[in-house]
Amino acid sequence: MRITTVVVCSPDVHMFVGKSPDDESKLVLSCLATGFYPRDVQMNIRLNKTNLENQTSSGIRPNDDETFQMRISVKINRNHEGSYDCLLNHSSLTEPVTVNWDRTSVESETEPGWCFTAGVTAAVVAGLGLLCWLCLKVQEVKSKNAVESLTSVLNPDTEQAANLVNYETGVTLLTGI
């Protein structure tokens, strides 16, 4: 007698959308199914329950855990009204799965905003760093000038002048004045 173990994993299905890189009036609507086994799967993006033409597919690809994934995408009109969904059929399912696109977000539409914000933030931080560095340099020059002015008034051979400035360590000492 031979015992055969059949492993079956149901897919996780997600829909998402991004801007079309070559046409601002279009969006790229994608459906991703992942974590399914066995390999065979049927997937379609639909508008009002009708399969859309010109869908592109990643093909079925392996995951690290010996399950599979597949992604399909289609360009759609940004302003088109209707109900978009992804219909998936797999042997692990008792009936096909339908995932509706809820139109709540366009992934890459927020990217330029984040890039702009990050750029402005970096410029402000760099500007503040430069301003702090300049202030320190100006303060350093002013301090050096003040010390030089004081030492020129004092007799350089006296103990007072020696106590005022110690050029070896750069430390200003005000003892003995």
Spatial contact of 18 and 28, defined as CB atoms under 8 Å apart: yes
Q: Is the pLDDT of residue 64 over 60?
A: yes
What amino acid is encoded at 120 in this protein?
V
Element (H, E) at 139: helix 111-153
Q: How far apart are CA 174 and CA 177, in angstroms?
A: 6
Rounded distance, CA 134 to CA 123, Å?
16
Q: What value does the mean pLDDT of the chain take? A: 80
Q: Are 15 and 99 in contact (CB under 8 A)?
A: yes
State the pLDDT confidence band at 168, using cuts at 50, 70 and 90: very low
pLDDT of residue 48: 95
